[in-house]
Structure 1
């Protein structure tokens, strides 16, 4: 076996010497850490938030758990603290169209003060104006107007009655109205007596009654006019009394807000409306004699309060406590949470609303600053994405209840005046989501021109060790954890490389590192330790693996019981141990698989059984098809490929995807063609190209450890090991127990660059190179393969010639 391909234990050792760390515990690291490895992302954020042109909103992309949200919010808050506070906004009653409430803008922190001033104004009106209407002076003047009306009416009837009496006619008032009757000697004639009068006299009386009836009609017609004149005088009296109160109260507010023309204009409208509706401030006559508890619904103080509500102010954006511009993260970006809504209340069996029930959304709260939203959550809520794009294009916030937009709710609603929008939107999401939006939504690239791409790893170097330790110290302080000693920090750094799956990198997945620190802290406190040590970190790692290890242990158990056929010693032709990785619940699980190949004379077809059974994914199928190209280019180049071969993952009952087994499949195929057995004490992983070069694959650590666990459970013989691509050596960050066995010579790792190196390790025979005569050595692997393929080609030629003769 080629020892030059074996990896030495020191080559695989990724440990950091705790003694090289310039501190005793992380409690000594008081300096706040800088941002690790995110220079590009930070610069993109600074550019995006500083760019004032339209469309320069930000999309922050990177995997979850990397800390992009906390870092971006921190940068935004730092910048926001130095920016001016945006204006306040409030909705008020629109007197010209009450279904379209008016939006008023205020200098920062003054909207709430104006609302309180208007509340005081309303309270003053509520108390002051009814008191005026309840005063003796008002009652006397109102009584004079009413008395004047009654006197005028009575005088008209008295004059008519007097004129009728002169003509011998009496004016009588009956339950049904007024009537005329003839008089004789001051007495009213009864109908019987009247009928006995001479016809000439009756006609004379009827003529007089008819004339008087016309006069009565004129008087009766004048009475409503006199009533209207009296009511007009009463209204004018009411206005004059209300005007003095309202004007005095509003003059103070106008003086206070003289520098705000829109506010003064609103106050003018309030004054006009109050004078126009002066009658609304007094109780109806039917309520004046009843105690408040006996008033019917909608009558009395409730009605007055309902009317006075129009003068109040609904503050939707209040910046009175703000320091700088706002930074808002919307956790639940529903349509209503983003754009606000108009609430309704039940009133006498109907849903009604007014401007005071307008509720702001996160766009209102973040206006003038920054709004951050999780992109996936935004897209998962109906109409939120389209609504956000519409708001950014139109640069205004329009409150439109979603139920009404869809026609679900049919009731009286409002159309609040839109508010101008000026803010930066920051979407946070996975890279895949960014690329899908960029591809499928033409408007996306116009509205989100700045991409902030977060790194997942940082280069592992001596210069990064202390900053990374400062990062760990800060995480421990934020979560109130015990300090880490030097050994614990060194172990966490090692695990950082393992999470990154790269010995030359450290993971920047803050959530994973924070979880590790918290679990190590738990075990340290459980042992009553004062600091977190290397042993506590090791235990946290082991316990986390144990908790998620059911599938892994079950697969290993089935291998050991012989249910899943995987050999770890002996030899077999056309059979090799491949390695695969499963992902379940965020856990990567490596496990060995037997791969077999069978060959015979045929038409040159290489059958991938997984693909034929529709269990092979496209990448796996591509890897198998590459094998045909390798065989055709490597062997008997002047002859047609005349074999029939089958390849299969034994005992696979689900989808097989990826090309990481293509090198193993090629070795099994070469073994079957050369009739040379493969050592089952070795497993192999790696992808192959048509030139026979072995290429890097993913999940190398899990694959190596999976075969090691099987071999260890069956007893390590010293001949077992795993063959990996040389391109993956830097990705090996293996568990210490495995490294100890490598150091003891009980388990081996080999790095190969070509299939020739791999097949020599697996078979113990040289692969062979073409000599000056163009042939491979007879007993080499390549020589045996080419001899077999040449034999197939001759049989095919002979068969073709025989068919041609017949």
Structure 2
């Protein structure tokens, strides 16, 4: 191919400077700086699908329509979710308060009581005041003179019965000539003689008949004593019962006035009324708790430690205000950043006593589900799934519609606990989980209940269409964020630069990025550099300065690679021409910075039937996609050159000086070019680097990272010296992805560097070699003379004939 013809070919496929990047037209903005933009309601930009899904999921009232907000970090998914849910929650009714109270019938099962918002705090206060008033009235009642007089009168009647019983016993004993006396050790009886106790010497002198008679009377007296004691014990029992009943009646009468107002105040809540009546009965039954101790003992009382002191006993008459929505203005919105078992579902705290751990209903603490009940609970999926038992229990509570406070030690089965089982609380909450595509797919694949409970997918995109509406919204976003964060205003030129950077983030001239985390980072840093220069606003030079500084902080690895290439440690030629050698392009880097680097790809072809050997595959350094790309090369070569006989090809191909895993098919066209060069013997220009995948028909397919690849090769060429003939060849479909840096575009505009776009292998091989690819003359595999394909076909013929000579037996068999 003649030089003029070759230059014409290069010009035909050269990408013009105007298509190497997309520039926002700053004239569409009617402001000089963002300080002139009028304030308006902030809105989510470029996420219509997510906005519609969020509106639907938050509005539908049926259960199980919980939301999973999915998308990459930095798209504003959390900020928008909190803002949207917060605004909607303000319009909702404030949910009820919840209290736990003592269950007088079953103390191990505390009762849950629901009260209207704000009433819970009042109920808690009313019961607190009630307890104090009860103690005051009971003490007052038992200390008043009317009560004491009635008690004395009651006791006096029983005392007369006891005295009469003793008098009857004494009379009975006297008739038998005996005396009865009460002593500290019991009841003693003495036989009498002449009105005095019978002495032992006198008893010994009695006749046998007299002794037997005396013993008979003694037995009669013993029977009478036993009867009398039984009668007295019955009377004493009646005294205790009557006195207890009298005191309970007195207590009931005295405190009834305290409960009547509460019955009226909470008459609309049957559960509260039942609790108050049980409360009243229990106070009457256990009125002694409210009485002062008979004597104040300062010494240690072991029994009191075991049974609980008075304060602990009185705790049953208190209220545990679990959820207090008194200060809420709408439905609650809880964002639980640490969704542990206890933080989500509540817990029962314990306290130590004599080496044991005990608990009661007053130690029940709420979790995020309790606080969000009647409203919205926002969770990060990654945080939730890291917590043991949290996901499983959350599912169970959403399925049952109740919040059951579980004891973590019981769930783990570590050791027996107190067995406290609070009454479940009805659950009515909208759960919004935020996570990545990976976690969404993981849950959807491995948990059959996931779709039943999270029926609304809110998907955030990473890009949006580039149009006037989104330009204006982005400009307002810049203004709103700079105002909120106290940044300098941004000039129109700076806003244009930000728009271009946004397109660069998505590598698409037709799109803008919705990853506002990267945009806000640029806003903060550019404002910093503008402030350093005492500028009144941020201009385009400050945007460029911020981007350059970001690159400088992160491109150490790229600089090392470039240094090794320039020094020859990594062997990459950027000038001249070589047979069987080409520069491929790969993308490397870290999370903060990615860059493209050239890599020498070489091929050797020789007679044989082993096919194309991928050295990376043989050394386990090749991924599956890369292996697939090389198999496609065999299909292309066979389809083009094996029309009437097989291809006796053996070839080896490798990425030189690479010692890590290689995957992807973006170098498959590059590998095909180098194979064609090796087979035809036509050298490839080393100043042209190549990227792009290929199919079996030889069509070039688009790849990713095109900007980084072009810029990486440009910087290497610049360090080694630009010749004006260097450049990168890319797939034509990738033109729309070009958003090159200004220095590369300047070099292209000056003719120092070039970008070519091709659609098929024939176009690419001609640019790389300056030799016509050739076209088939017949269907038998004959091509235009002196073309590359003709040379390759001739080489295959030579290989085939050599193979036939080496194996004549096979030739005879074929004939």
- Which bin holds the TM-score, normalised by the shorter protein? over 0.9
Pick from 676, 685, 691 the counterpart of residue 691 of structure 2. Answer: 685
SS at match of 1:96: coil
For 2:3, the equivalent position in structure 1 comes to: none
In the TM superposition, residue 772 of structure 1 has moved relative to its aligned partner by 5.0
2:639 maps to 633
Give the whole-Å Cα distance in 1 for the aligned partners of 2:807 and 2:175.
149
Q: 1:227 to 1:668 in 2, by over 3 A?
A: farther
- The one of 97, 113, 121 aligned to 1:112: 121
Listed as ranges, the matches of 1:15-34 within 5 Å are: 15-32=23-40, 33-34=42-43
Moved more, 772-781 or 489-498: 772-781
SS in 2 for 1:78: helix
Q: In the alignment, what sits opposite 1:485?
A: 491
Structure-2 separation of matches of 1:497 and 1:563: 36
Q: CA deviation at 1:804?
A: 6.2
Matched, 1:4 2:12: yes
Cα pair distance change 1:780/1:161, threshold 3 Å: same
One of 194, 198, 221 as aligned partner of 2:203: 194
Q: Which residue of 2 aligns with 1:125?
A: 134
How far apart, CA to CA, are the structure 2 residues paired with 1:215 and 1:742?
A: 131
Alpha-carbon shift at residue 283 of structure 1 (Å): 3.2
Residues 235 and 207 (structure 1 numbering): CA distance in 2 closer, same or farther, change over 3 Å? same
The one of 772, 788, 798 aligned to 1:791: 798
The residue number in structure 1 matching 2:284 is 275
After TM superposition, give the deviation of residue 254 of structure 1 in Å. Answer: 0.9
Which residue matches 1:726?
732
Contact kept, 8 Å, 2:557 with 2:589, in 1: the verdict is no
Report the TM-score, using the length of structure 1 for normalisation: 0.95
Distance 1:141 1:215, change over 3 A: same
**SS of the counterpart of 1:451?**
strand
Check if 1:102 corresponds to 2:108: no
- CA shift, 1:490, in A, is 1.2
| Aligned mate of 1:181, from 182, 190, 215 | 190
- The CA deviation string for residues 178-230 of structure 1, in whole angstroms up to 9 with x for no partner, is 23232223333344542342221111111111111112222333444333222
| Offset, 1:294 | 8.1
Q: Aligned partners of 1:300, 1:57: CA distance in 2, in Å?
A: 48
- What is the SS of the residue equivalent to 1:784? helix
Contact 2:554 2:592 in 1 (8 A): no
SS of residue paired to 1:324: coil
Between the aligned partners of 2:424 and 2:455, the Cα distance in structure 1 is 26
1:229-248 counterparts in 2 under 5 A? 229-248=238-257
Answer yes or no: is the 8 Å Cα contact 1:568–1:682 preserved in 2.
Answer: yes
For the 8 Å contact 2:117–2:324, the answer to whether it is kept is yes
Deviation at 1:803, TM superposition (A): 4.9
Counterpart in 2 of 1:252? 261
Matches within 5 A, 1:564-643: 564-643=570-649
Cα distance in 1 for partners of 2:490, 2:154 equals: 92
Q: 1:232 to 1:516 in 2, by over 3 A?
A: same
**Contact 1:153/1:223 (8 A) holds in 2:** yes
Which stretch shows the higher mean deviation, 29-38 or 640-649? 29-38
1:440 aligns with 2:446: yes
Could you list the runs of 5+ residues in structure 1 that have no partner in the other structure? Answer: none
What is aligned with 1:59? Answer: 68
Secondary structure at the residue paired with 2:309? helix
TM-aligned CA deviation for residue 409 of structure 1: 4.3
Q: In 2, distance between residues paired with 1:228 and 1:778?
A: 131
The residue aligned with 2:82 is 73
Q: Which residue of 2 aligns with 1:356?
A: 362
- List per-residue Cα deviations over 1:236-270 (Å, max 9, x = no partner): 22212221232111101111112222222221221
Partner of 1:675: 681
SS in 2 for 1:417: coil
State the Cα deviation string for residues 101-127 of structure 1 (Å, max 9, x = none).
111112222111111111111121233
Mapped partners of 2:144, 2:413: distance in 1: 51
- CA shift, 1:19, in A, is 4.5
CA distance, structure 2, for counterparts of residue 613 and residue 19 of structure 1:
57
Question: Secondary structure of 1:577's match?
Answer: strand
Residues 155-554 of structure 1 mapped to structure 2, 5 A cutoff = 155-285=164-294, 288-290=295-297, 298=304, 303-554=309-560
How many Å separate the matches in 2 of 1:238 and 1:579? 97
CA contact (8 A) 1:604 1:641 kept: no
2:811 equivalent to 1:801: no
1:530 Cα deviation (Å)? 2.3
Aligned equivalents of 2:307 and 2:290: distance in 1?
A: 9
Matches of 2:789 and 2:568 in 1, distance apart? Answer: 34
8 Å CA contact 1:594–1:650 kept in 2: the answer is yes
Shift of 1:302: 7.8
1:629, distance to aligned residue in structure 2 (A):
0.9
Correspondence for 1:744 among 750, 753, 766:
750
Q: TM-score, normalised by structure 2?
A: 0.94
**Which has the higher mean CA deviation after the structures are superposed, 703-712 or 767-776?**
767-776
Corresponding residue to 1:754 among 755, 760, 781: 760
Q: Greater CA deviation, 339-348 or 728-737?
A: 339-348
RMSD (Å), alpha carbons: 2.3
* Number of aligned positions between the proteins: 803
Kept after mapping to 2: 8 A contact 1:284/1:299 = no
- Checking the alignment, whether the CA contact within 8 Å between 1:94 and 1:101 is kept in structure 2 is yes
Q: In structure 2, what is the Cα distance between the partners aligned to 1:363 and 1:230?
A: 54
User: Tell me, what secondary structure is at the counterpart of 1:372?
Assistant: strand
- For 1:766, the equivalent position in structure 2 comes to 772
Aligned equivalents of 1:223 and 1:716: distance in 2? 124
- 1:599-619 per-residue CA deviation (whole Å, 9 max, x = no partner) reads 111114211111121111111
Residue pair 1:353, 1:413 contacting (<8 A) in 2 also: no
Q: In the aligned structure 1, how far is the partner of 2:534 from the partner of 2:142?
A: 79
- 1:631, distance to aligned residue in structure 2 (A): 0.9
